[in-house]
């Protein structure tokens, strides 16, 4: 059987228009606000025997609406239910979960009685169910009360000093009714409580993941502006894509440092060098290709990650030559450990005028990378754009000498290191670079 909306949509246009014209204002409002008609897949609560439903998604995904709709339905289904509403603060719980544009008061059905007692922090539903507002900052308030259902909003924002106690007290009180359940709606952050929650796993935990762009009802202009401004950045991946991004232990380039050192190269460039980390063989492995420039302000700027994978020697050499031409590089610096004369010959074949300097890796990758990371720390080297794949590799370097990033080898990051050493850490580079 098709639902009423599908049946209406399949009618001939004239008949469909006549039916809509016959609807009263109340019926039209109910039709337009009908949750089942407009919700996207990530907002429907799951089937199965779950105890916790975690909606871990980016801003604008519709997490709040999903939480409010679920609570409202539970209040209708279980008359007399006792429901906990826990926000990072009391103000957050009231302003977002109850009174907000996607909160409980806004999603009530036509004719449904809702009695919001703001002073007491209590919402009474027509079924007799009661929702009580709590703050994660006051975990002791959750010690003792029993609940059938709970909605915990922005869990990753809960105060670090109180979050665990608030969660533990809540869960110990989830012992009322036949099947106590908790919905958690949050944009993720790498905090202890989020890790605890994810460690539960199925069947007790059902997780819904989502991105800002998944909400088809958001203005397209807003989504495009957010993607253009933040796509690929740590902030964008966390706040728009709903990813929980952790730094590896002892990261040489913490993600916060990479984000701090991001700005446009708004000054003329004095010199540009292209660093190359050639593939280990001729079977189409990845080739790191990174362009770095020295600005007239004596600051270094990472200009492009032109790395390629799956190409023959002729293919990746052509990509190197193209990058060098595009940025008018004064030279290409390439590691000669892998292939030596072969590296130079394929690069020359791609562009006979290409100035090439071959360097030998006599020290480990991390040792070479440390002075480059120090330039970032000192504010002398910047990312003049967003380079997600390169930055994933940078974030995988560990001070202790390990690598926990993607892939077997950090080809892109190695290319960056070679370029920076040539441009900023060689004899000419040390004279030119300015630390601010």
When mean pLDDT is compared over 2-6, 72-76, 309-313, the highest value belongs to 72-76
Q: 142 to each of 38, 51, 84, 323, how far by Cα in Å?
A: 35, 18, 9, 60
**CB within 8 Å of 299: residues ≥ 6 apart:** 267, 380, 381, 382, 433, 434, 436
Handedness of CA 161, 163, 168, 174 (dihedral sign): positive
C-alpha distances in angstroms, 219 versus 65, 84, 224? 17, 32, 9
Q: For the packed helices 411-420 and 388-396, what is the interaxial angle rounded to 10 degrees?
A: 90
Separation of alpha carbons 274 and 321, rounded Å = 9
At 401, list the tokens: 């000498």
Contact 274, 419 (CB under 8 A): yes
The set of residues, in sequence order, having a beta carbon less than 8 Å from that of 339 and lying 6+ positions away, is 278
Q: Percent of the chain at pLDDT above 70?
A: 89
Cα angle 87, 93, 95; round to 5:
145
pLDDT band at 26 (very low <50, low <70, confident <90, very high): low
Q: Phi first, then psi: what are they for 209, rounded to 5°? A: -105, 150
Q: What is the pLDDT of residue 4?
A: 58
| Angstrom distance (rounded) from CA 380 to CA 387 | 18
Instruction: Report pLDDT for 435.
Output: 45
Q: Are 377 and 257 in contact (CB under 8 A)?
A: yes
Q: Give bridge partners of residue 292 from the DSSP assignment.
A: 273, 302
Helix (H) or strand (E) holding 83: strand 82-87
More confident residue, 39 or 308: 308
Average pLDDT over residues 400-411: 82
pLDDT at 390: 93
Which tens digit of pLDDT belongs to each residue from 291-327?
A: 999 999 999 999 999 999 989 989 999 999 999 999 9
Q: Please provide residue 264's backbone torsions phi and psi, each rounded to the nearest 5 degrees.
A: -70, 150
DSSP element (H, E) containing 320: helix 313-326
**What is the arithmetic mean of pLDDT over 407-414?**
89
Residues whose CB is less than 8 angstroms from the CB of residue 4 and which lie 6 or more positions away in sequence, other chains included: none
What is the C-alpha separation between 222 and 228, in angstroms, rounded? 10
Q: What average pLDDT score do residues 173-193 get? A: 92
Q: For the whole model, what pTM was predicted?
A: 0.60
* CA-to-CA separations, 433 to 296, 297, 302, 419, in angstroms, rounded: 10, 9, 14, 14
Instruction: Specify the DSSP class assigned to residue 423.
Output: I
94: DSSP letter: I
At 433, the pLDDT band (50, 70, 90 cuts) reads very low
Q: Region 56-63: what's the mean pLDDT?
A: 90
Q: Is the peptide bond before 61 cis (omega within 30 degrees of 0)?
A: no
CA-to-CA distance for 206 and 242, rounded, in angstroms? Answer: 16
Q: So what's the pLDDT on residue 399?
A: 81
Q: pLDDT digit string (tens) for 119-137?
A: 999 999 999 999 999 999 9
The band of 337, judged by pLDDT with boundaries at 50, 70 and 90, is: low
Q: Mark out the alpha helices in 106-191 (DSSP H runs).
A: 163-172
Strand-pairing partners, residue 71, are: none
Is the Cβ–Cβ distance between 397 and 252 less than 8 Å? yes
Average pLDDT of 389-393? 90
Q: Helix, strand, coil proportions of the chain in percent (round to 5)?
A: 40, 20, 40
Q: Is the pLDDT of residue 118 over 80?
A: yes
pLDDT in tens, 417-431: 999 999 999 755 444
Tell me: cis bond preceding 435? Omega within 30 of 0 counts.
no
Kindly tell me if the per-residue pLDDT of 139 is higher than 90.
Answer: yes
Q: Where are the alpha helices (DSSP H) in 234-312?
A: 234-239, 255-260
Q: 184: which 2 tokens?
A: 């958690």
Strand 114-117 to 122-125 pairing: antiparallel
Per-residue pLDDT, 8: 62
Q: Please report how many Cα atoms fall inside a 13 Å half-sphere around the Cα of residue 210, on the Cβ side.
A: 24
Q: Are 40 and 214 in contact (CB under 8 A)?
A: yes
Mean pLDDT is lowest, of 18-32, 78-92, 187-201, 228-242, for 18-32
**If we measure between CA atoms, which residue out of 167, 93, 106 comes closest to residue 133?**
93
Q: Of 31-40, 214-223, 266-275, 327-336, which range is least confident?
A: 31-40
As given in the structure block, the two tokens for residue 20 are 């809509």
């Amino acid at each position: 059987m098709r639902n009423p909306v599908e049946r209406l949509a399949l009618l001939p246009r004239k008949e469909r228009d006549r039916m809509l014209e016959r609807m009263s204002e109340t019926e039209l409002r109910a039709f337009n606000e009908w949750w089942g008609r407009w919700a996207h897949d990530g907002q429907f609560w799951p089937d199965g025997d779950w105890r916790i439903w975690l909606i871990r998604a980016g801003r604008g995904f519709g997490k709040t609406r999903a939480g409010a709709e679920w609570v409202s339905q539970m209040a209708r289904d279980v008359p007399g239910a006792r429901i906990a509403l826990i926000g990072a603060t009391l103000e957050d719980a009231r302003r977002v979960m109850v009174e907000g544009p996607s909160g409980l008061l806004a999603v009530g059905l036509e004719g449904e009685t809702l009695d919001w007692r703001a002073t007491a922090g209590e919402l009474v539903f027509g079924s007799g169910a009661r929702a009580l507002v709590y703050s994660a900052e006051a975990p002791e308030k959750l010690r003792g009360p029993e609940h059938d259902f709970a909605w915990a909003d922005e869990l990753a924002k809960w105060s670090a000093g109180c979050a665990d106690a608030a969660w533990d007290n809540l869960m110990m009180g989830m012992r009322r009714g036949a099947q106590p359940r908790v919905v958690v709606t949050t944009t993720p952050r790498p905090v202890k409580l989020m890790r605890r929650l994810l460690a539960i796993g199925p069947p007790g935990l059902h997780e819904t993941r989502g991105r800002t762009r998944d909400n088809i009802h958001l203005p397209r202009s807003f989504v495009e502006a957010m993607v253009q401004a933040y796509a690929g950045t740590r902030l964008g991946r966390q706040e728009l894509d709903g990813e929980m991004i952790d730094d590896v232990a002892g990261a040489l380039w913490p993600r916060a440092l990479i984000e701090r050192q991001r700005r446009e190269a708004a000054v003329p460039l004095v010199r540009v060098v292209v660093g190359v980390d050639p593939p280990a063989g001729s079977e189409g492995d990845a080739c790191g290709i990174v362009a770095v420039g020295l600005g007239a302000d004596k600051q270094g700027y990472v200009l492009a990650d032109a790395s390629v994978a799956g190409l023959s020697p002729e293919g990746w050499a052509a990509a190197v030559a193209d990058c060098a031409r595009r940025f008018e590089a004064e030279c290409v610096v390439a590691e000669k450990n892998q292939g030596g004369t072969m590296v130079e010959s394929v690069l020359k074949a791609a562009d006979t005028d290409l100035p090439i300097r071959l360097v030998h890796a006599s020290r480990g990758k991390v040792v070479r990378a440390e002075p480059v990371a120090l330039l970032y720390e000192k504010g002398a080297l910047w990312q003049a754009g967003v380079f997600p794949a390169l930055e994933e590799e940078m974030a995988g370097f560990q001070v202790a000498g390990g690598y926990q990033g993607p892939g077997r080898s950090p080809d892109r990051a190695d290319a960056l290191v070679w370029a920076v050493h040539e441009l900023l850490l060689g004899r000419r580079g040390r004279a030119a670079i300015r630390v601010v």
